[in-house]
Structure 1
Amino acid sequence: MVRFGLGEPIPPDTAHAVSVSLPTWESNVAYEEGEAWVVSKMRSGYPRFFIHKSIDAFANHLVATFGRDGQSKAMLFPTRQVASRCLSFVKSRSAPDLQVCLTAIHLVLDTSNASATALRKFSPAISAVLCSHEIFPYAKQYWQHTGDGVSSRRAEFCHGLFKDGLLILDEPPEGSTSQSPDPKPCKGPRRYQRPLSLDGTAASPLPPPTTGRPDHAYTGVHSAREAEESLRFVEERFGRNLDISFVEPAKSAIKRRIAGAVTVDFDIQPFTPPDMSSNMRGITNLREDDVYLFPCGMNAIYNAHRFLLGARGSMKSINFGFPYVDTLKILQKFGPGCVFYGHASETDLDDLQKRLEDGEKFLALFCEFPGNPLLTCPNLVRIRSLADQYDFAVVVDETIGTFANVNVIQYADIVVSSLTKIFSGDCNVMGGSAVLNPNSRYYVDLKAVADKEFEDTYWAEDVIFMERNSRDFASRIDRINANAEAICRTLIGSPLVKNVYYPRHNPSRPNYDACKRPTGGYGGLLSVTFHRREHAIAFYNAIGTAKGPSLGTNFTLTSPYVLLAHYQELDWAAKLGVDPDLIRISVGLEETSALETMFRDALDVAGALTSQRN
Structure 2
Amino acid sequence: MTSDTLPVLPPKRLEEQPFGTAYVYPYDSQHGVSISMPNWKSMIDYFEESDQWRDDHIEWCYPRFFVNRPIRKLAQAAFERLTIANDGSMACLLFPTVTFARDCARYIAKEHPEVTVEIVQFRSPGDRNESVARVLSFAGFAMAVFPNEVKRSAMMFWSYVGGGLTTRHASFAIDYLDYLEATSSNKRIEIVPPKPVSSLSTPSWVLDVDATAMHVRSTIAKLSTPESPSLPAITAEHVALYPTGMSAITHASEAIQAVAATSTVVAFGWIYDETIHNLKNGPWEKFIGYKRGTEQDLQDLTRRLRAGERIGALFCEVPSNVFLSVMPLQRLRALADEYQFVIACDDTVNGFINLDLMPYVDVMLTSLTKIFSGASDVTGGSLIVNPASRHYSALQSALQARYETSIVFPLDVQALQRNSRHVRWRAQRCNANALAVARMLHDHPLVERLNYPFYDESLAVYHSLMRQPKEGGQSEGAVAAGYGMVMSVVFRNAAIAQQFYDTLNMPKGSSFGTNFTIAVPFALLVHYFNRPQVAAHGLPEHIIRISVGLEDVEDIKAAIQEALAKCDGKKGRPGARGVKLGETKL
Q: Where on the TM-score scale, by shorter chain, does this alignment land: which range?
A: 0.7 to 0.9
- 2:475 aligns with none
- 2:73 aligns with 57
- 1:83 aligns with 101
- 2:140 aligns with 125
Change (3 A) 1:30 1:71: closer
- 1:545 aligns with 506
Check the 8 A contact 2:374/2:419 in 1, yes or no: yes
User: Aligned partners of 2:297 and 2:124: how far apart in 1?
Assistant: 52
Tell me the amino acid that sits aligned with residue 599 of structure 1.
I
Tell me the amino acid that sits aligned with residue 155 of structure 1.
A
**The residue matched to 2:266 in structure 1 has which SS?**
strand
- 2:16 aligns with 3
- 1:238 aligns with none
**The residue matched to 1:10 in structure 2 has which SS?**
coil
2:516 is the counterpart of 1:501 = no
**The residue matched to 1:332 in structure 2 has which SS?**
helix
- 1:315 aligns with 263
User: Aligned partners of 1:372 and 1:451: how far apart in 2?
Assistant: 29
Change (3 A) 1:607 1:166: same
Q: Pick from 300, 304, 315: which aligns with 1:351?
A: 300
Change (3 A) 1:30 1:612: closer
Question: Once superposed, what is the RMSD of the aligned Cα atoms?
Answer: 2.4
2:397 is the counterpart of 1:448 = yes
User: Aligned partners of 1:16 and 1:54: how far apart in 2?
Assistant: 10
Q: Pick from 481, 484, 493: which aligns with 2:431?
A: 481
2:117 is the counterpart of 1:102 = yes
Q: 1:101-131 CA deviation, whole Å, 9 max, x = no partner?
A: 4211111112434596263595432111110
Q: Pick from 564, 567, 578: which aligns with 2:539?
A: 578
2:517 is the counterpart of 1:556 = yes
Deviates more, 1:395-404 or 1:38-47: 38-47
- 1:304 aligns with 252
User: Aligned partners of 1:140 and 1:8: how far apart in 2?
Assistant: 21
Change (3 A) 1:108 1:410: same
Alpha-carbon deviation of 1:62?
Answer: 2.5
Check the 8 A contact 2:242/2:248 in 1, yes or no: yes
User: Aligned partners of 1:281 and 1:429: how far apart in 2?
Assistant: 33
- 1:137 aligns with 152
Q: Pick from 497, 504, 510: which aligns with 1:536?
A: 497
Deviates more, 1:540-549 or 1:460-469: 540-549
Tell me the amino acid that sits aligned with residue 255 of structure 2.
F
User: Aligned partners of 2:423 and 2:327: how far apart in 1?
Assistant: 25
Alpha-carbon deviation of 1:574?
Answer: 1.1
User: Aligned partners of 2:228 and 2:348: how far apart in 1?
Assistant: 15
Change (3 A) 1:280 1:295: farther
Q: Pick from 16, 41, 52: which aligns with 1:26?
A: 41
Alpha-carbon deviation of 1:526?
Answer: 0.2
Tell me the amino acid that sits aligned with residue 22 of structure 1.
M
**The residue matched to 1:134 in structure 2 has which SS?**
helix
Q: 1:330-384 CA deviation, whole Å, 9 max, x = no partner?
A: 1011112411110111111111112212222212111100001111111111111
- 1:47 aligns with 63
2:272 is the counterpart of 1:324 = yes
Tell me the amino acid that sits aligned with residue 202 of structure 1.
E
Alpha-carbon deviation of 1:311?
Answer: 2.0
- 1:522 aligns with 483
Change (3 A) 1:327 1:67: farther
Q: 1:392-420 CA deviation, whole Å, 9 max, x = no partner?
A: 10001011012210011111000000000
Tell me the amino acid that sits aligned with residue 511 of structure 2.
S
User: Aligned partners of 2:379 and 2:236: how far apart in 1?
Assistant: 21
Check the 8 A contact 2:259/2:394 in 1, yes or no: yes
Alpha-carbon deviation of 1:609?
Answer: 6.5
Tell me the amino acid that sits aligned with residue 6 of structure 1.
F
Please identify the structure whose Cα radius of gyration is greater.
Answer: 1
Q: 1:129-165 CA deviation, whole Å, 9 max, x = no partner?
A: 1100122222222221111211111122112211xx2
User: Aligned partners of 1:39 and 1:549: how far apart in 2?
Assistant: 17
Change (3 A) 1:589 1:376: same
| Equivalences, count | 542
- 1:188 aligns with none
Tell me the amino acid that sits aligned with residue 334 of structure 1.
G
Tell me the amino acid that sits aligned with residue 204 of structure 1.
V
User: Aligned partners of 1:467 and 1:612: how far apart in 2?
Assistant: 46
Check the 8 A contact 1:331/1:337 in 2, yes or no: no
Tell me the amino acid that sits aligned with residue 586 of structure 1.
S
Alpha-carbon deviation of 1:68?
Answer: 5.8
Q: Which aligned pairs between 1:287-298 and structure 2 lie closer than 5 A? A: 287-298=235-246
**The residue matched to 2:93 in structure 1 has which SS?**
strand
Check the 8 A contact 1:260/1:281 in 2, yes or no: no
2:275 is the counterpart of 1:259 = no
Check the 8 A contact 2:499/2:572 in 1, yes or no: no
Check the 8 A contact 2:94/2:144 in 1, yes or no: yes
Q: How does the TM-score come out when normalised to structure 2?
A: 0.88
Deviates more, 1:530-539 or 1:602-611: 602-611
Change (3 A) 1:166 1:537: same
Q: 1:475-506 CA deviation, whole Å, 9 max, x = no partner?
A: 11111001101111111232111111000100
- 2:192 aligns with 204
Check the 8 A contact 1:315/1:362 in 2, yes or no: yes
Tell me the amino acid that sits aligned with residue 41 of structure 2.
E
Alpha-carbon deviation of 1:286?
Answer: 2.7
Alpha-carbon deviation of 1:203?
Answer: 4.0
Check the 8 A contact 1:9/1:45 in 2, yes or no: yes
Change (3 A) 1:542 1:370: same
- 1:273 aligns with none
- 1:246 aligns with 208
Check the 8 A contact 1:260/1:280 in 2, yes or no: no
User: Aligned partners of 1:584 and 1:317: how far apart in 2?
Assistant: 28
Alpha-carbon deviation of 1:39?
Answer: 6.1
Tell me the amino acid that sits aligned with residue 585 of structure 1.
I
Alpha-carbon deviation of 1:38?
Answer: 6.4
Tell me the amino acid that sits aligned with residue 41 of structure 1.
H
Q: Which aligned pairs between 1:361-400 and structure 2 lie closer than 5 A? A: 361-400=310-349
User: Aligned partners of 2:433 and 2:233: how far apart in 1?
Assistant: 35
Alpha-carbon deviation of 1:281?
Answer: 7.5
Alpha-carbon deviation of 1:247?
Answer: 2.2
Q: 1:157-214 CA deviation, whole Å, 9 max, x = no partner?
A: 112211xx22111x3x22x3x4xxxx1xxxxxxxxxxxxxxxxx52415646xxxxxx
**The residue matched to 1:546 in structure 2 has which SS?**
coil
User: Aligned partners of 1:82 and 1:116: how far apart in 2?
Assistant: 27
